[in-house]
Amino acid sequence: MVTRTQVGIIGAGPAGLLLSHLLHLAGIESVVLESRSRDDIESTIRAGVLEHATVELLKAIGLGDRMQREGAVHDGIYLRFNGGTHRIDFTELIDRNITVYAQHEVIKDLVAARLATGGQIVFEADDVQVHDIDTERPRLTYRDGETEAALHCDFIAGCDGFHGVSRPLIGGPQRQDFTRVYPLGWLGILVEAPPSSDELIYAHHERGFSLVSTRSPELQRMYLQCDPNDKVEQWSDDRIWSELHTRLATHDGWTPKVGRIVQKNVVAMRSFVAEPMQHGRLFIAGDAAHIVPPTGAKGLNLAVADVQVLARSFGEHYAGRGSQALDTYTPTALRRVWRAEHFSWWMTSMLHSFADADPFQQRLQLAQLEQVCSSRSAARTLAENYVGLPFNAQLN
């Protein structure tokens, strides 16, 4: 079975699906190949903090209705340390905010939109392989059930994550991988309980970082810093609640809402950037190109930013305005990537406890937190980066 399209896209995560939809709106054909089933990608629960620009983009392309009904708009966050709570007011500082809306809900909206407009998504595409990216006729091969299939394209977009087939094919003498592995993990839990807070709480404590988030009126998301090699079996419900109460304790006696824990998982933390993000007619985006620790809430938003640049670059090409935008995709995208990498590293370094930290370093962390909470300019810097730069800021 042989088919043809203009842009072949590997991966039906937020990056691949959004790219496909943006290309559709620009009159450019695409086909998305995804190794998992539709049910799998729509039911894999992952947190989602959407930057202001991400929200505005989804609204502008007609994908904001359910997000606006069910997402929670947050005008700030709380920083907690030394038993005190301090609010960073995004709206007052920079007149923008964020929306808490889970990543799998974004995926549901994108899948529905693509299928409603006749978009082609091949679910359960096995053994996807990339060919001929150094020619003008690249192609993808895969198995669709028992059928061997080939997809001929003008370009290929690898949106298939860190472990996908695309990133290893980005080669050449300029290829560099930048990696930082943190001696930290997050134990994430889903709790059947009402919200503990109206906005996210980022808590620094000598026993480790903790985060209070929300998912819905009935289901909440919380995180505890742990050893990255921990197993969920090591964390009983009693141990989890004991740690959360200790790390989140305040002088006024605040406590989180307790409920039945319905999910636990441990996530290791690392930073990663692949340079360049293109080779021949292959372009990578999202987790295929970069990973950030979750402290800065940048992963999904960086994927959106990448494909917004990439879709605009394809649009320039197919409109007959040349290849300059495609040729400069890497430096354009990387300006935002490295800004987000720095912010995520900074938030991680400021809020977590480190086994090798001496008293001097611990005092530096507290001094940094106190500055952010007492200096308007420092708070504004945090707010600008957390809420996210406008997309046009990376394109100029």
| More reliable by pLDDT, 263 or 396 | 263
Reply yes or no on whether the pLDDT at 396 is more than 60: no
Measured distance CA(277)–CA(287) in Å, rounded: 11
Percent of the chain with pLDDT over 90: 92
Res 173: pLDDT? 80
Q: Which of 248, 269, 290 is the last residue of a domain?
A: 269
**171 and 194 inside one domain:** no
Mean pLDDT along residues 36-61: 92
Res 315: pLDDT? 97
Res 44: pLDDT? 81
The reply to whether 365 falls in a domain is no
Closest to 103 measured CA to CA, from 304, 260, 382, 343: 304
**Active site residue ranges:** 74, 202, 294, 298, 386
**169 and 183 inside one domain:** no
Res 395: pLDDT? 40
Least confident of 16-20, 42-46, 337-341, 392-396: 392-396
Reply yes or no on whether the pLDDT at 392 is more than 80: no
Distances (CA, A) of 123 to 4, 36, 59, 108: 17, 6, 26, 14
**171 and 196 inside one domain:** no
**192 and 329 inside one domain:** no
pLDDT tens across 150-173, in order?
A: 999 999 999 999 999 999 999 878
Reply yes or no on whether the pLDDT at 307 is more than 90: yes
The reply to whether 158 falls in a domain is yes
Give the distance from CA 221 to its chain's centroid: 16
The reply to whether 250 falls in a domain is yes
Res 10: pLDDT? 98
**29 and 167 inside one domain:** yes
**302 and 347 inside one domain:** yes
pLDDT tens across 106-140, in order?
A: 999 999 999 999 999 999 999 999 999 999 999 99
Q: Which residues of 170-194 are buried (b: 16+ CB within 10 A; e: fewer)?
A: beeeeeeeeeeebebbbbbbbbebe
The C-alpha angle 244, 97, 247, rounded to 5 degrees, equals 10
Res 87: pLDDT? 98
Q: Which of 254, 269, 284 is the last residue of a domain?
A: 269
**125 and 165 inside one domain:** yes
The reply to whether 229 falls in a domain is yes
Reply yes or no on whether the pLDDT at 174 is more than 90: no
Mean pLDDT along residues 385-390: 93
Res 217: pLDDT? 87
Q: Which of 269, 299, 332 is the last residue of a domain?
A: 269
Give the distance from CA 368 to its chain's centroid: 25
Distances (CA, A) of 253 to 84, 85, 246, 249: 11, 12, 11, 7
Closest to 264 measured CA to CA, from 224, 294, 214, 293: 224
pLDDT tens across 74-89, in order?
A: 999 999 999 999 999 9
The reply to whether 162 falls in a domain is yes
Domains contained in the chain, number: 2
For 232, the 3-state DSSP assignment is helix
**245 and 292 inside one domain:** no
**19 and 142 inside one domain:** yes
Mean pLDDT of all residues belonging to the chain: 95
Res 48: pLDDT? 86
| More reliable by pLDDT, 325 or 390 | 325
Res 394: pLDDT? 46
The reply to whether 242 falls in a domain is yes
What pTM was estimated for this model as a whole?
A: 0.94
**20 and 130 inside one domain:** yes
Reported confidence tier of residue 40, pLDDT bands at 50, 70, 90: very high
Mean pLDDT along residues 285-295: 97
Res 145: pLDDT? 87
Q: Which domain CATH number covers 218?
A: 3.30.9.10
**283 and 214 inside one domain:** no
The reply to whether 372 falls in a domain is no
Domain span holding position 260 = 178-269
Pairing of strands 278-279, 282-284: antiparallel
- Phi first, then psi, for residue 218 (nearest 5°) are -115, -15
Mean pLDDT along residues 359-367: 95
**204 and 223 inside one domain:** yes
Res 391: pLDDT? 81
Res 53: pLDDT? 96
Res 228: pLDDT? 96
Q: Which domain CATH number covers 296?
A: 3.50.50.60
The reply to whether 53 falls in a domain is no
